[in-house]
Amino acid sequence: MKHGIQDLALFGGTPAFVENHRVGRPNQGDRSRFLERMNRVLDGEWLSNNGPLVHEFEERVAELAGVRHCVSVCNATVALQMLVGDAATAGVPGDEVIIPALTFPATAHAVAWRGLRPVVCDVDPLTGLIDPGRVEALITPRTRAIIGVHLWGQACDVRRLEKIADCYRLRLYFDAAPALGCTHGDTPIGGFGDAEVFSFHATKVVNSFEGGAIVTDDDALAGRLRAVRNFGFGPDGRVEEVGTNAKLNEAAAAMGLTSLDALEDTIAHNRANYETYRSALAGVAGVRPLEYDARHRNTHHYAMVTVDGPATGLHRDVLLDVLRAENILAQPYFAQPMHRLRPYLDESTAALPWAEELCGQLLALPTGPKVSAEDVGIICDVVRVAAAHGPEVTATRRAGPVGTAVQ
């Protein structure tokens, strides 16, 4: 139990945890099931190229997402590149795709990698999601598509974005990398817009080591994407599209299936942790857990808080140092908006105030099946003590010899 700042490890106290609590520990599921699947893969000597486990994984993801087609791929970034490429087949280099300012850099990179220009849109200050009210002003004759991002599993305002995309005849995609298992109302994330993309990276709620999927109800699009994923080969073995190699392999599918088996347990555990965080941080001024819209279901795979520097006298980055000294490896997700990334620095971009403010405040705390309610209580204790002595922590921190990240 921490009482004063002298108890904080950064100031000489004993660290709250002996072992690291990281953000994004993998949800591996039942090891014996994974090994049993791997034995089947090795016995069958079918390691890649649309094997039986990939097939089973695609069927289960499509069912979970409530869509007709799941095209599994090697990661979500390549999946986004494939969709941007599909939107731009009739276009020219320099065409534009509208993306939110607050997302993982892969969303912007996927656009630029296909020779298009990411046009960055500000976000809603409460949710961090793309603000549909600001999208229309960014549409030009060169706009090809809009990519919404279901940040931390929160559903975008899909209906308003669909209306805008319809009205201007634009493709609408969703980067749903963090949103497998989440819903918009009662409808699973997966069937909105022209297509949605999931990630099965090791840190996501379901992991396949590395992996991703494009889900859609569009039969023709799914057919093109299946060809693109496999060097452009169509069903008859002729090359029909400019292809790449984006296939998911059988070992990845074995992990994906095993991790998927554990999804409901993972969600239940995450939800309990979320409630514990909410009640334990309720009295801590200036540190606010992200509020989720109760109409939508969230997997609570991300324990997000905002740290209000002026209110606490404690900048997010100072709190990050306090936590890391306790072996609580929190993460500043996201610390840089897309229009401030070096490749996309654009003098013509106006300031995007909400995204910029959030980037200085957001903090992801550890959660997941390996983080117990007791662990969450200990983490919140540290946050409470640091926030209660914000100016003192900041001042001592500035004077002290340790660390680097003070701003």
Ligand X SMILES: *Cc1c(COP(=O)(O)O)cnc(C)c1O
**Residues lying near ligand X in the complex (CB under 6 A):** 75-77, 103-104, 106-107, 149, 175, 177-178, 199, 201, 212
Question: CB 102 → ligand X: shortest distance, Å?
Answer: 9
Q: How far is the CB of 275 from ligand X (least distance, A)?
A: 24
Q: Which is nearer to ligand X, 181 or 212 (CB)?
A: 212
Residues in the chain: 407
Distant-in-sequence contacts of 345-352, Cβ < 8 A, 24+ apart: 346/120, 349/120, 352/101, 352/120, 352/121, 352/122, 352/123
Structure token digits, residue 55 = 């097939």
Cα 300 from chain centroid (whole Å): 12
Least Å from the CB of residue 123 to ligand X = 13
Q: Which is nearer to ligand X, 8 or 352 (CB)?
A: 352
In the bound state with ligand X, the residue whose beta carbon lies nearer, of 148 and 286, is 148
Point out which residues pair with 149 in neighbouring strands: 175
To the nearest whole angstrom, how small is the minimum distance from the Cβ of residue 103 to ligand X? 5
**What distance in Å separates the CA atoms of residue 388 and residue 390, rounded to the nearest whole number?**
6
- Whether 161 and 146 have beta carbons less than 8 Å apart is answered as yes
Closest separation between CB of residue 135 and ligand X, Å?
A: 18
Residue number with CB closer to ligand X (204 or 389): 204
Closest contact distance (angstroms) between CB of 338 and ligand X is 11
C-alpha separations of 369 from 23, 272, 328 in Å: 12, 10, 16
Number of helices (H), then strands (E), in the chain: 13, 14
The neighbouring-strand residues paired with 96 are: 117, 143
**Tokens for 236?**
């008859």
List the structure tokens of 91.
């276009």
Integer Cα distance of 194 and 162 in angstroms: 9
The residue among 191 and 212 lying less far from ligand X, judged by its C-beta, is 212
Contact 304, 287 (CB under 8 A): no
The minimum distance between CB 354 and ligand X, in angstroms, equals 17
Give which of 283, 286, 259, 254 is closest to 387, Cα–Cα.
Answer: 286
Q: Which is nearer to ligand X, 255 or 380 (CB)?
A: 255
User: What span, in angstroms and rounded, lies between the C-alpha atoms of 180 and 201?
Assistant: 12
Q: Is the peptide bond before 192 cis (omega within 30 degrees of 0)?
A: no
Name the residue nearer to ligand X (CB basis): 104 or 277: 104
**Closer residue to ligand X in complex, CB, 221/248:** 248
Q: Where are the beta strands (DSSP E) in 138-273?
A: 143-149, 171-175, 183-184, 187-188, 195-199, 212-216
Minimal distance in Å, beta carbon 335 to ligand X? Answer: 14
- Which residue, 215 or 280, has its beta carbon nearer to ligand X? 215
Are 240 and 233 in contact by the 8 Å Cβ rule? The answer is yes
- Residue 2 Cβ vs ligand X, minimum distance, rounded to whole Å: 32
